[in-house]
Structure 1
Amino acid sequence: MGSVSLKIGDGTARFRRATVCSSAVNILMILSVVTTNLFALYSFSSSPKHPHTHLHLLHKNFSLISEQVSLILREIDMSQKELAQIERDLLGYESLDLSRPNIANELKLFLRPHQLPLGRDSKTGITQMVSSVAHSCDKSSDLLSQYMTYNLFQRCPDDWSMAQKLILKGCEPLPRRRCFAKTISKVGLLHPFPNSLWEAPLNSTVNWSGLSCKSFECLKDRKLSRDCIACFDLINGYENHRFLKSKSKNDFLVDDVLALGSGGIRIGLDVGGGSGSFAAVMAQRNVTVVTSTLNLDAPFSEFIAARGLFPLFLSLDHRFPFYDNVFDLVRARSSLDGGARPEKLEFFMFDIDRVLRAGGLFWLDNFCCSDEEKKRELTRLIERFGYKNLKWVVGEKPDSLGSGNTQIVLSAVLQKPVRV
């Protein structure tokens, strides 16, 4: 697959990767050298009748070889440049040029490499620390520079929505900043744990800037996504019954899933977990769950935190910031859908597999398939991982967003095998 590296030293952050194209150029160079050597060998091995004629032909052959080599080298150089340009066009990025006048000074300072104070580290072999920034940030350099423009050691602009916009554009991780994020006093306003799990937070504990709703009352009946329909109503809605009572055969109950884990479920990851109700139900069963989320038209992160749970502000395209084989349980809903690109779904599934320990459970919860072909593709992909099928249910549901269409829904509990 190649690799992407960040090199900063001459004011430019470059991203390079090895490709099939570069391998083809190397093969072409080898063939050219072999051909030239064979041509030279033929010239030297021939024995003409007249010595003077031989010297003349030898000189002529040398000139011809020299011209051929020069021509081959020029063609190789042109091919490399053309292939490099094609690669840049396909990848959509080449460099983050920090010398451009519109780049904020804070961004330049953040990306500048810093030498280790004691020189080379004997354990890692590194001599300097280099800050990271996503390669897709180059496409949003103006917006990124605006994000990095602020008053040093003062309060940051109230621009969390700009940060989220950059993240959704693939500019993730974002650079750090040297300013104070906007704070909201929550002293004495948060409910004590575990009461906080099912008591609605106060409106005054949330930053509502950049959102269409300005209160939780406004959000109670909102259909924000297939996974969040009135999910902010913890009192009168269905949210406090989810995972405890089923509406259909595809709705698995938490206690049934935990029983499949044979008592070995302690920590879990909920991918795109809405308002955090799954984590709340699991917390009541002494299981710690991290909920990945974004504030898409609602304050999901602050709401989850106000419930005494762990929100992870992360897009679905970002590699999970966890070590390998650490979670006992990973749950994912429709957020697993990779859209029209099967490779995107494969990358996502492999990252889930990476953080899930051997013997851990992968809970695919009400995954919506647009048609039978989509279901077959997902089924074939899951089979390639070799998971043990503990529970598998396929059903049909009307689209929860009210489109009037009926969707194929897949729910499954799968156990990761031990691979040697």
Structure 2
Amino acid sequence: MGSVSLKIGDGTARFKRATLCSSAVNVLMLFSVLTTNLFALYAFTYSPKQHLNNPLLHHPHKNISLITEQISLIMREIDSSQRKLAKMEKELLGYDTLDLSRPNLANELKLFLQHHQLPLGKDSRTGITEMVASVGHSCEKSADLLSQYMSYKVSGPCPDDWSLAQKLILKGCEPLPRRRCFAKTVPKARSKNDFVIDDVLAMGNGGIRIGFDIGGGSGTFAARMAERNVTVITNTLNIDAPYSEFIAARGLFPLFLSLDHRFPFYDNVFDLVHATSGLDVGGKPEKLEFLMFDIDRVLRAGGLFWLDNFYCANDEKKRALTRLIERFGYKKLKWVVGEKVDAAGSGKPEIYLSAVLQKPVRV
């Protein structure tokens, strides 16, 4: 069934698409009207000459009583069908399936599921007279767990019950009811090796415009720098994931190039070069030395070389890297050596080096 619009004067009368329940009622009422008309037609148009021996012929009031009785029966059937359809509709909607009178039900759950009458009465467009809570009707099957989920201190911290919430969702109780408690916030741990981008940019005295990120992964560093009006080219390879396509999809510039190749840039073009542990080319000192000279070539005088959480397997490797950097005569604006717990869960501390170095002017 579609929708029909009738233009009447300056207004428009609209007949909206009927629902499944209303369509069934309309069909039933139409059938009742047709049946009633057939009864009336039969009662008032049959020929008396053909039914002289019919006792009802001499008692027309009995015919009228019979028709009235049939009409009453049909109307009762229509009323019963309407009640059944309304009950089915409520069951499908699900908001009347939870019995709030059952014992041991959390007060917060009762308050949330309480119906609220519309302040202006019945809505003329939807026919709704009250607002009901948004909660999955399958929650009725897990009322005890739902009551446990809604047991908390109002305006206090929410209990650590994510496993309970997940269990309810897996049982089909979705969406979960709202709660009046504060979710716990987990602060992101920041070590002394993690430098703040704005602090590093401040060391460049406002002269950071373009940068180069070596081993930039998915381009997160370039995206954060773009928020600060700094253009960063990200060098990456598609190792285990299509990083280049992802970086380009973020509106950033990927450079598909291994670190064994000479950088395809002119001398002294970048204000900032950012590198992480990807700077370690296979753990070979001679390759790292060649790479450092190429980084020095593309970085302008006064530019910043940001070594971000470079992993040092041992103290000897840290000392070797330190000696290599000192050969270039960079000014140490920031130099931090710290330890982090092994991410694999072994509990052993790992050594990381973070530094911000400024390239000197060479004559």
Q: What TM-score results when the alignment is normalised by the length of structure 1? A: 0.41
- Relative to the length of structure 2, the TM-score reads 0.47
